[in-house]
Structure 1
Amino acid sequence: MMNDFYKIPSPCFVLEENLLRKNLRLIRSVADEASIEIILAFKGFAMWSAFPIVREYFGGATASSLSEARLCTDEMKTKAHTYAPVYDPVEFNQLMKCSSHITFNSVSQFERFSSKLSTSDHKISAGIRINPEFSEVETELYNPCAPGSRLGVIAEQLGDKLPEGIEGLHFHTLCESYSTDLEKTLTAVEAKFGKFFGQIKWVNMGGGHLMTRKGYDTEHLIRLLQEFKSRHPHIKIILEPGSAFAWETGFLKASILDIVENKGIKTAMLNVSFSAHMPDCLEMPYQPRIRHAHSSPIDGKPTYRMGGNSCLSGDYMGYWSFDQELQIGDTIILEDMIHYTMVKTTFFNGVQHPSIGILKSDGNFELVRKFGYEDYKGKLS
């Protein structure tokens, strides 16, 4: 029940607490039934104003940079499982202070920094990212196992023994994938890297496990993980989904500022930008759902593109059909805009950045953050 919908400013990212809790309960049930650890990946969802809710269900998170590791200690109140494609020596000492686990992308990176781990004032478990050279991710931009990938070590680069000091293996081959994709990946991982399993304490199976999507077979996922544990009982399993936590947990509220027509194509000009505020729509690409709209053209119904408010020529998506003609001033609700949105937004063109808010369980709206000129100016110099 949205008691305060009229109070939500435009534009605004709105997280719905009830939907977030629904996802958290499902993910928690998978972790419990499979007896594994699931942690939040900040790269997909880093809305730290919602972390008090997340901490009711989960106590860990994964970071991909020093800033994310600091956010983990500051707002998740725990040390991070950290992985980055490359580490900066200037940042590494501070990164260690914020990390319980550090995974290295290459043997050379591990060799460069491994001596530092022993100087830490707390235990840090070292891992190395592996590339099983198998992935069914079709979009090349998101495929970490494409030929020549810079991400992870292939089996032939490791010889017969892991470097001394490596306690875990990390792989990430999925992107909004199903449990059947994980099953195929595990077959490839065990075939290529199984000989190292006796030398490790944990395996991080990365993200991309979209277990909160409708139609995902969580029972199959649980069986896969249980069977892996039965084959390798000494190995702790870690999953770090990003999208699954925030999948379909909220929306982006926008407004129509103008309607332009060219060669019979009508474009509703919004006060948000696909390029600056919804970049995954253009990168993946995918067309988001709009509330009360049809996601493909329907003969006889008013049909529009949605145009962003930046100067990029390709800052538009379409087409959607509506039951009535759109009007300047109408509200547009772009669905499922919480994961991989706020973490990727920019201040391109200096266009107004959407506010951030939470629609609480009682139906009341809480405005968490509003952005202005100083935010844009401060980012540049």
Structure 2
Amino acid sequence: METRAGDPGAFARFDLYRVDSPAFVVDAAKLRENLRILDDIRERSGAKVLGALKAFSMWSTAPILGEYLDGVCTSGLWEALLAAEHYDGEIATYCAAYKAEDLDEICRLSDHVIFNSPMQIERFSDVLLRARARGDDFDVGLRINPMHAEGEVPRYDPCAPHSRLGFPINQLKAEHLEMVDGVHFHTLCEQDFEPLARTWDVVFDHLEPYFDQLKWLNFGGGHHITRADYQRDELVEFLKDVQDDTGCEVYLEPGEAVALDAGILVGTLLDSHWNGMPLAITDISATCHMPDVIEAPYRPALLGEEPLDGVQIDEGQGGAVRLGGPSCLAGDVIGDYRLPVPCEPGQRIAFLDQAHYSMVKTTTFNGVPLPSIWLWDSESDSLEQIRRFGYEDFRNRLS
């Protein structure tokens, strides 16, 4: 999988030694730039836009998101609690399978409670009726699987064969929608407008008989709306047409697009040696700090890196260096790079586009410290350490 990170932007002039290491640094100005684009889509199309906390839940930036978005979408009780505590606007909660002991609270917190199957709606119908009887005001949604794959990587494709995510649309019947106010689908991952349009062409015929009874349609996330070459005008016209054709309100749930290119992960070279090629150990761990590097897999862009084209790995000085993390996992390898700095202990490096997903997926496997979290504003140059993690954070999550 190829990274879709763009220009480093203001990070090209950020002094990496201003923060400790490792550290996530998020640029509030770039975040606002992304959010203004999403707000423009809202204003021109009439659709609602919710930020996906599963991708970016740096809640210290919640006031910034609240200026531009209609709310957030969450993936279960804990994210819903975080949303209610820190974020403004609507809360839409979807979970592949709810626990009975969580659902009461989720109904209290959420504006939309979206189920993965009609069977779960039926199983929890008493819970839903009791929640509404006590005054909880929420809509019930059903996630469908359009059975139309657009993803490049199967593990990130909700429509891959035998996917557990969403009720297969070719099995949908009228009785499945009896308690349902809206339909949700999510089929994209870092993609342009055309895959959404193709998906809707498939979905439309299946849902057309039910438009009169539905209040809203939720097109999920994976829309790379804030990338410079995304077809935004086409998206706006499409969203208008969908609302006109169906009479339904339309929601989008971008996650990555909220924080695209808005953050870096700063690290330090700790050691270097040779084993058939130059090797360097950093205090950034792929498995602990950027797990998608291994899961996708993909190669994250390095701030200031030089092209690898035509470079031989045995060139030594100025050649490709394999960067790896400090954990004991043999596969804790980030990738091969031509470094913008000497391959020496103490030198700082930074990986681009790490605000989304990386921050929310960090672990303390092997006792590797968590990166601290900083908020920078490239317009004012203000810099604030939001959180620094210590040994206690590692210890307290264990028994």
Tell me the TM-score normalised to structure 2 length: 0.91
Q: Is residue 25 of structure 1 aligned with residue 36 of structure 2? A: yes
CA distance 1:79–1:98, shift in 2 (3 Å): farther
Q: Verify: 1:364 aligned to 2:382, yes or no.
A: yes
After superposition, the C-alpha distances for 1:181-222 in whole angstroms (9 at most, x for unaligned) are 101000011122222222201000000011111211111111
Cα distance in 2 for partners of 1:111, 1:295 equals 56
Query: Amino acid of the residue matched to residue 36 of structure 1?
Result: A
- The answer on whether the counterparts of 1:162 and 1:199 sit within 8 Å (CA) in structure 2 is no
- The whole-number CA distance in structure 2 between the counterparts of 1:367 and 1:348 is 24
Per-residue CA shift, 1:301-347, capped at 9, x if unaligned?
32201111111111113211136642111001111110111111111
Say which of 186, 205, 211 aligns to 2:225: 211
Q: Aligned partner of 1:222: which letter?
A: V
Contact 2:289–2:363 at 8 Å: present in 1 too? yes
* Partner in structure 2 of residue 97 of structure 1: 108
Aligned to 2:272, the other structure's residue is in SS state strand
1:359–1:380: structure 2 CA closer, same or farther, 3 Å change rule?
same
C-alpha distance in 2 between matches for 1:324 and 1:209:
35
Q: Which residue of 1 aligns with 2:395?
A: 377
Q: Which is worse superposed, 154-163 or 115-124?
A: 154-163
Return the alpha-carbon distance in structure 2 between the equivalents of residues 143 and 272 of structure 1: 28
Q: Tell me what 2:47 maps to.
A: 36
* Equivalent position amino acid for 2:44 in 1: E
Is 1:294 the counterpart of 2:312? The answer is no
Amino acid at match of 1:211: I
Larger deviation, residues 5-14 vs 217-226:
5-14
Aligned-residue offset at 1:295:
4.9
The one-letter code sitting in structure 1 at the alignment partner of 2:290 is M
Alpha-carbon offset, residue 79 of structure 1: 5.0
Q: Secondary structure at the match of 1:149?
A: coil
Matching residue of 2:337: 320
The whole-number CA distance in structure 1 between the counterparts of 2:175 and 2:129 is: 21
**Are the equivalent residues in 2 in contact too, given 1:4–1:364 (CA < 8 A)?**
no
Q: Is the 8 A contact 2:341 2:347 kept in 1?
A: no
In 1, distance between residues paired with 2:187 and 2:102? 27
**Residues 256-275 of structure 1 correspond to what in structure 2 (within 5 A)?**
256-263=269-276, 265-275=277-287
- Match of residue 353, structure 2, among 323, 332, 336: 336
Identity value in percent: 37
* Partner of residue 111 from structure 1, selected from 107, 122, 129: 122
TM-aligned CA deviation for residue 169 of structure 1: 0.3
Name the amino acid aligned to 2:212: G
Within 2, Cα distance between the matches of 1:59 and 1:379?
A: 34
Deviation per CA, 1:126-149: give whole Å up to 9, x if none.
Answer: 010111100210211111111221
> What is the distance in 1 between the residues matched to 2:30 and 2:334?
26
Distance 2:381 2:341 in 1: 28
The question of 1:241 aligning with 2:254 is answered: yes
Shift of 1:294: 2.3
Q: Aligned pair in 2 of structure 1 residues 38, 79: CA closer, same or farther (>3 Å)? A: closer
Looking at structure 2, the residues matched to 155 and 287 of structure 1 have their Cα atoms a distance apart, in angstroms, of: 35
Q: Write the mapping of 1:306-317 to structure 2, written as runs, cut at 5 A.
A: 306-317=323-334
Q: How far is 1:116 from its partner?
A: 1.8
Distance in 2, Cα, partners of 1:92 & 1:152: 18
Inter-CA distance 306–5: structure 2 relative to 1 (3 Å threshold): closer
- Taking the aligned partners of 2:18 and 2:349, their CA distance within structure 1 comes to 15
User: Which 4+ runs in 1 deviate beyond 6 A?
Assistant: 1-4
User: 1:5–1:365: 8 Å Cα contact kept in structure 2?
Assistant: no
1:21-46 per-residue CA deviation (whole Å, 9 max, x = no partner) reads: 11000010011111110001001100
Aligned counterparts of 1:324 and 1:308: Cα–Cα separation in 2 = 18
* In structure 2, C-alpha distance between the alignment counterparts of 1:3 and 1:309, rounded to whole Å: 25
- Quote the Cα distance in structure 1 between the aligned partners of 2:102 and 2:307: 46
- 1:12 corresponding residue in structure 2: 23
Unaligned runs of 5+ in 1: none
Structure 1 equivalent of residue 372 of structure 2: 355
d(CA) in 2 for partners of 1:242, 1:3: 25
Aligned length: 379
Is residue 223 of structure 1 aligned with residue 241 of structure 2?
A: no
Tell me whether 113-122 or 355-364 shows the greater mean CA deviation: 113-122
Aligned pair partner of 1:47 in 38, 50, 58: 58
Task: Tell me which amino acid in the other structure corresponds to 2:259.
Answer: A
Q: In the superposition, relative to structure 1, how do residues 333 and 5 fare at CA in structure 2: closer, same or farther (>3 Å)?
A: closer
Q: Determine the C-alpha separation between the residues in 2 that align with 1:251 and 1:230.
A: 41
Query: How far apart are 1:119 and its partner, in Å?
Result: 2.3
Which amino acid in structure 1 is aligned with residue 299 of structure 2? Q
Residue of structure 2 aligned with 1:277, choices 281, 289, 294: 289
Residue 398 of structure 2 aligns with an amino acid whose one-letter code is L
- Alignment partners' CA distance in 2, 1:38 and 1:324: 41
Q: Helix, strand or coil: the match of 1:119? A: helix
Aligned to 1:185, the other structure's residue is in SS state helix
- How far, CA to CA, are the matches of 1:35 and 1:163 in structure 2? 25
